[in-house]
Structure 1
Amino acid sequence: MNDSTDFPVLELTGTPRDRGRVHGEVLRDRIHEMVERWKQDIGDDTGMNPDDFLSQLVGETRFLPAVKRWTPDLLEEVEGIAEGANVDFTAIFARQLSDEEPWFRLEKKLGLSWDSAAQCTAIGVNPQGERPALAAQNMDTPAYYNGFQVLLHIKYPESPLEVFMFTIAGKINLAGLNNAPVGICCNTVLALNYAKDGLPEDFVVRGALARPSLAEALAFMHRIRHASGQNYLIGGPERVISLECSANQIVEFVPYPGANRTYHTNHPLVNDDQTIHQERLAAMTNTQRERWGFYANSHARLDTLQRHLNDPDECITIDKIKTILSSHDGPVCHNSATKISLGCLIMELSPNPTLHLAAGPPCSTPFTTYRF
């Protein structure tokens, strides 16, 4: 592991279980501390014993069979993390369910605080002349995630495929790219319908990045059943698109006719598969509806993106994207006691793919460049 700074870069190779074991062993102390902070947050937010909550999350859903069906290698990797870190498998598997846990809490009529709701912002740009396609994201999380960031460099032993995955200790995914290249960013869209027998978001992203082309990654994403409402901003050398995915449909969002760029925040723009959310809202009191005020933040960030990106004649550069994602207008960039932009990724989807990564709020964190 390259750990010359506080931000570790961990190379993983070998079988899926071997990759997981190395992840778990090398980052064991960080994983233990992260799991303890996470369980404390669950207990504070739900009023439940966190181990009981996690047992329900795993036991009352069919995520495990979905992972076994669609991405069995990743299940082995997660088992390896649990073994290497010496942490209960249920806890480590549940740690991969960051986008499933919020709607499960809502279904169980348990607490869901503002800070449990994701607030990520993503931008994609098609090739512009000699400039390569770009995919970029602020990965916004609860502030207690900070300090646990890691970049996984995954090498597949029987394939030339490699992956850079930005994540936290103990998780297989937040966002990343492979050397095909295919890059993928993800934004929670909690208003879209979910499925207890679908493939969880972490496994969707890693499954897509295990494909050697954008076409094959898209085919995978259309073939599976999605567990959670999500916008996947996904691209390759030829284009970048936004797909609003829910339990029952996938709809592409295009900002305007002929647009050569795309963007997204955390509310649905084109996918109307929202019956669960609408029924929940109808049953709420006005006070309870106010808990959903974080959608106002999603709209504010979208307005910021539109102001910066809706001129079709403007060339969108890496520096332009850094400026947008560093903005406190919205705010697009978070850096508070409760919410943080944990990392900012800008991916160049060129023949020599490049990741520009700030492992913290881009308004104050320098970017480092990584190449395969």
Structure 2
Amino acid sequence: MKSFLLILSFAVFNAFLASATTGGDSRKEVVLDTAYSSLPVLHLNGTPYENGFQHGKIMRSRIAELVGLWKRDIEEKYGIPADRFIATFLDSTNYIPSIKRWTPDLLEEIRGISAGSGIDFNTIFAFQLVDEIWTNARLISIPHHCTSIGVNNSKRDGSPNYIAQNIDITPFYHGFEVLLDIVDTETGARKLVTTFAGYIGANGVNRHIGITENTLADLKSSLDGLPVCCVARGVLEKESFEEAVDFIRGVKHASGQNYIVGSDSSVISLECASDLVTEYWPDSTKEYTFHANKPLTNSSYHPAFLSYLKALYGSIPESVSFSDERLEAIKAVALNSRHISLEVITDALSKRPICNANTFVSTIMEFGKGYSELRISPGKPDSTEYILFRIKK
């Protein structure tokens, strides 16, 4: 097993202090932790807008660079100027009402990132819509092939539970990894959010629960649902496993997605289309689950996928069976391990094809009695050590 770097106590240490006026007379202190050359950590403790502003201001140059790469990628893929694509995409969709309904604080955080980075709101807002652009603009051939696993060891033998994920995304995002360490000053609640510069979050953990996400582009999407980044961050605002699951089941999803949610007592895998949420379990024990990027139980398919099936088979089959090499690899790990331990998970995430050229970060979340932990490898885990962060309850 890899040796893990440093358990962090979240005290202020080896850090550069930065503070900025974020509106009115409000002034918030924030820490940019530069202890890890490959993983900037932003310690944020303001209002949602202030947190976004600090994120945008401190990472301003990195955000500008990444947004530039993102725009160039759009132009290469779609053959039109990026600003025209952004305007057309936003005119054709209507996500903001859903964000205001279910996660209004996140809209303020996005506004803050825009103000802090100096990049117009529409561009920063569209920058959050990674899955929505892939799915609803049907740009589904680019690499976004994440692999996840969830293990309910507490049900089997009382040992810690785990959820874990390799996030695979387009290579131009690589090198822009950021960890957000956000504290609510009123409640003391803390969440750790894995992300890249200028984005509100890909996955993460709080003191009670954690979440991973895998794109399911073959499932039905909506033009006015809640974007994936807001679903993930919305879950991290919940104080219990049950609240998190109810939230995922209760929102209208903008994009097809699999979410694995874990706590110290439970794990669940949910496949979400815009109009249907189903559970996925490999067997009746419900002691473990895993996922890649194809729906395994949910059959509410995207119209474009139904058209593809009809063209392929001449008619739409009653059932469709999916598999790929990453799913088979993680399935083999789960089925062939008598005990799915931290060592087993770490080893699996570090081997091909689960670890591949598109792997952006690898995350392992552990849930024990009295703590949650996040292990994050900011890069490919076969060559980049994990850094360990702990939240005490």
Tell me whether the two structures share a fold, i.e. TM-score over 0.5.
Answer: yes
Given residue 118 of structure 1, which amino acid in structure 2 is its aligned partner? H
**1:234-273 to 2 correspondence within 5 Å?**
234-273=261-300
Instruction: Pick the aligned partner of 1:89 from 121, 124, 140.
Output: 121
Alignment partner, residue 332 of structure 1? 354
Higher mean C-alpha deviation, range 95-104 or range 125-134: 125-134
Larger radius of gyration: 2
CA contact (8 A) 1:133 1:238 kept: yes
**1:35-46 to 2 correspondence within 5 Å?**
35-46=67-78
Given residue 362 of structure 1, which amino acid in structure 2 is its aligned partner? P
CA contact (8 A) 1:233 1:240 kept: yes
Instruction: Pick the aligned partner of 1:309 from 334, 342, 362.
Output: 334
Moved over 6 A (4+): none
Where 2:167 maps in the other structure, the secondary structure is strand
CA contact (8 A) 2:53 2:117 kept: yes
Deviation at 1:317, TM superposition (A): 0.8
Alpha carbons of structure 1 residues 148 and 275: separation in structure 2 relative to 1, 3 Å: closer
CA-to-aligned-CA distance 1:139-181 (integer Å, 9 cap, x gap)? 11111111100000011122231110010000001111001x2
CA-to-aligned-CA distance 1:6-44 (integer Å, 9 cap, x gap)? 310101111110000000000000000000000000000
Deviation at 1:319, TM superposition (A): 1.0
- Tell me whether 1:3 sits opposite 2:45 in the alignment: no
Given residue 178 of structure 1, which amino acid in structure 2 is its aligned partner? N
Q: Distance in 1 between matches of 2:285 and 2:342?
A: 21
Deviation at 1:283, TM superposition (A): 6.8
CA contact (8 A) 2:149 2:288 kept: yes
CA contact (8 A) 2:140 2:217 kept: no
Q: Distance in 2 between matches of 1:207 and 1:326?
A: 29
Deviation at 1:213, TM superposition (A): 0.7
Instruction: Pick the aligned partner of 1:300 from 325, 343, 348.
Output: 325
Alignment partner, residue 169 of structure 1? 197
Given residue 374 of structure 2, which amino acid in structure 1 is its aligned partner? L
- Tell me whether 1:342 sits opposite 2:360 in the alignment: yes
CA contact (8 A) 1:45 1:113 kept: no
Deviation at 1:101, TM superposition (A): 0.3
Given residue 147 of structure 2, which amino acid in structure 1 is its aligned partner? T
Deviation at 1:113, TM superposition (A): 6.3
Alpha carbons of structure 1 residues 22 and 188: separation in structure 2 relative to 1, 3 Å: same
- Tell me whether 1:223 sits opposite 2:250 in the alignment: yes
Q: How many positions carry a matched residue from both structures?
A: 349
Given residue 376 of structure 2, which amino acid in structure 1 is its aligned partner? L
Q: Distance in 2 between matches of 1:172 and 1:306?
A: 31
CA contact (8 A) 1:189 1:231 kept: yes
- Tell me whether 1:369 sits opposite 2:363 in the alignment: no
Identity of aligned residues (%): 37
**1:185-204 to 2 correspondence within 5 Å?**
185-204=212-231
CA contact (8 A) 1:57 1:104 kept: no
Higher mean C-alpha deviation, range 77-86 or range 152-161: 152-161
Where 2:270 maps in the other structure, the secondary structure is strand
Alignment partner, residue 260 of structure 2? 233
Instruction: Pick the aligned partner of 2:96 from 49, 53, 64.
Output: 64
CA contact (8 A) 2:95 2:227 kept: yes
Deviation at 1:326, TM superposition (A): 1.0
Instruction: Pick the aligned partner of 2:169 from 127, 141, 144.
Output: 141
Given residue 315 of structure 1, which amino acid in structure 2 is its aligned partner? H
CA contact (8 A) 2:136 2:221 kept: no
Alignment partner, residue 241 of structure 2? 214
Q: Distance in 2 between matches of 1:65 and 1:52?
A: 23
Deviation at 1:364, TM superposition (A): 0.7
Alignment partner, residue 63 of structure 2? 31
CA-to-aligned-CA distance 1:82-140 (integer Å, 9 cap, x gap)? 0000001111111111110012222xxxxx363x2410000110024242110100011
CA contact (8 A) 1:67 1:75 kept: yes
CA contact (8 A) 1:348 1:355 kept: yes
Bigger helix fraction = 1
Alignment partner, residue 205 of structure 1? 232
Alignment partner, residue 122 of structure 1? 148
Alignment partner, residue 316 of structure 2? none
Given residue 125 of structure 1, which amino acid in structure 2 is its aligned partner? V
Alignment partner, residue 290 of structure 1? none
Given residue 334 of structure 2, which amino acid in structure 1 is its aligned partner? L
Given residue 119 of structure 1, which amino acid in structure 2 is its aligned partner? H
Show structure 1 runs of 5+ residues with no match. Answer: 107-111, 287-294
CA contact (8 A) 2:143 2:168 kept: no
Where 1:353 maps in the other structure, the secondary structure is strand
- Calculate the TM-score normalised by the size of structure 1: 0.90
CA contact (8 A) 2:221 2:302 kept: no
CA-to-aligned-CA distance 1:250-299 (integer Å, 9 cap, x gap)? 0000011113110000000000001513333157689xxxxxxxx98x61
CA contact (8 A) 2:183 2:190 kept: yes
Given residue 324 of structure 2, which amino acid in structure 1 is its aligned partner? H
Where 1:100 maps in the other structure, the secondary structure is helix
Deviation at 1:192, TM superposition (A): 0.3
